Amino acid sequence: MIQIPVAKPVLDEQEVEAVRRVILSGWVTQGPEVAAFEQEFADFVGASHACAVSNCTTALHLALLAIGVTAGDEVITVSHSFIATANAIRYCGATPVFVDVEADGFNIDPDEIEAAISPRTKAIICVHQLGMPCDLHRIVEIGTRLSIPVIEDAACATGSEILWKGRWEKIGKPHGDIACFSFHPRKVVTTGDGGMLTTSNPEYDRKFRLWRQHSMSVNDTVRHGSKQVIYESYPELGFNYRMTDMQAAVGRVQLKRLPDLVARRRALAELYSKQLVFAAGPRPPVEPSFARSNWQSYCVALPDKWGQRDIMQGLLDRGISTRRGIMNSHLEPAYAEHNSHRVAGTLKNSITAQNKTIILPLFSQMTNDEIEIVVSAIKSELVTPELAIA
């Protein structure tokens, strides 16, 4: 039986009450709650525009379309991410170009980007993997110098911060051209499913709003409130990528909780990092000096002699749930076809990161004692000789 799960959303009567209020209002799909959530999210991250959508995958799709990514284009990104990052590029008919991640972290290696650029490069998607901000200074500098827009896949990074021109700023301001967030239950705040796009560019924002609702010329709330009969039109191809008002109402409660959730997660991560320092133990993740992670996940590197699956099974047998390191899209059958992607350089670090790391339990309700239980279980597994694969 699982005693310590890998993650756990914080949801209580406040969220229940918020959904109840929306249901009883009679307006349950995209409407006033979505508009309020967008404004509150924009204020929180310091963005001029925030547009809510159904999830982060659809947010990435709209971001790429707004930039003009189309069939035949290339988009530079990492293979070492949840498959949604690469899939969104393929939805546009474009080709993901995979570059490696840094040796000492899980984010795109800025040193690899320029060599991957071709005449077909239309955008860069960098991922703030597991909530850890990537080196946006260097990535945005490359994008600006070469006129290549930068999309931040901030799926995991709600509440993370970056030191920007001497000030701590929230991920999502955005520092690139567009940032995309996820509110899946494995993230720090959740709406069940849900996503958000932030940008400083009003034209991008206009497109997101149009396309998320089938490009309908007049949205539901305007039509509903009008004293005149309005016939809408559909001037271009769009999608149903809406967030519902029930989800947004939950999101508004979650956003109020966010500072406390992040503070607690940071304290727990610090505790892990202190307790995991022992001989031949796993290597704790490192926060670069320019980054403050929300610790959406806490991922440790395993010493060479440890088998990933064995240690995970050993911990599961003790009631502790873990996950393997982040996947690599290019290793999945969906990417088996030669023309589904291009690999630039080697993906050595990405593959090591997938196979030689594990994600430990971390959620804000976790107690300090539970951290100690996980750490002592890891120590016990370490001394069990049959787990060594060397």
Ligand X SMILES: Cc1ncc(COP(=O)(O)O)c(C=O)c1O
Examine residue 364 and tell whether it contacts ligand X (CB under 6 A): no
Give the one residue of 176, 195, 314, 361 binding ligand X; rule: CB under 6 A. 195
76-115 residues near ligand X, rule: CB under 6 A: 81-82, 84-85
Helix 202-211 with 56-67: angle, nearest 10 deg: 120
- Report how far apart the first and last C-alpha atoms of the chain are (Å, whole number): 30
196-235 residues near ligand X, rule: CB under 6 A: none
Nearest distance in Å: CB 181, ligand X: 8
Token pair of 17, please? 């009450």
Q: Count Cβ atoms below 10 Å from residue 229 Cβ, excluding itself.
A: 6
CA–CA distance, 367 with 331 (Å, rounded to integer)? 37
Q: Which is nearer to ligand X, 84 or 189 (CB)?
A: 84
* Cα–Cα separations (whole angstroms), residue 328 to 98, 182, 305: 10, 19, 22
The answer to whether residue 274 is catalytic is no
Give residue 161's identity as a one-letter amino acid code: E
Nearest distance in Å: CB 5, ligand X: 17
Binding mask 320-349 for ligand X (x = CB under 6 A): ------------------------------
User: Using omega within 30 degrees of 0 as the cis cutoff, is the peptide bond preceding 174 cis?
Assistant: yes
Q: Which is nearer to ligand X, 75 or 382 (CB)?
A: 75
Give the one residue of 6, 47, 53, 57 binding ligand X; rule: CB under 6 A. 57
CA 240-22-47 angle, to 5 degrees, is 60
CB 67 within 8 A of CB 220: no
Token pair of 33, please? 């709650």
Instruction: Out of 122, 173, 187, 356, pick the active-site residue.
Output: 187
Nearest distance in Å: CB 226, ligand X: 33
Give the one residue of 182, 199, 244, 328 binding ligand X; rule: CB under 6 A. 182
Binding mask 3-42 for ligand X (x = CB under 6 A): ----------------------------------------
Helices (DSSP H) in 77-232: which residue ranges?
A: 84-91, 110-116, 136-145, 202-211, 220-225
Q: Which is nearer to ligand X, 108 or 382 (CB)?
A: 108
Examine residue 265 and tell whether it contacts ligand X (CB under 6 A): no
Residues in contact with ligand X, total (CB under 6 A)?
Answer: 14
Give 108's strand partners.
101
Nearest distance in Å: CB 381, ligand X: 27
CB 51 within 8 A of CB 196: yes
Residues annotated as catalytic (active site), given as ranges = 187
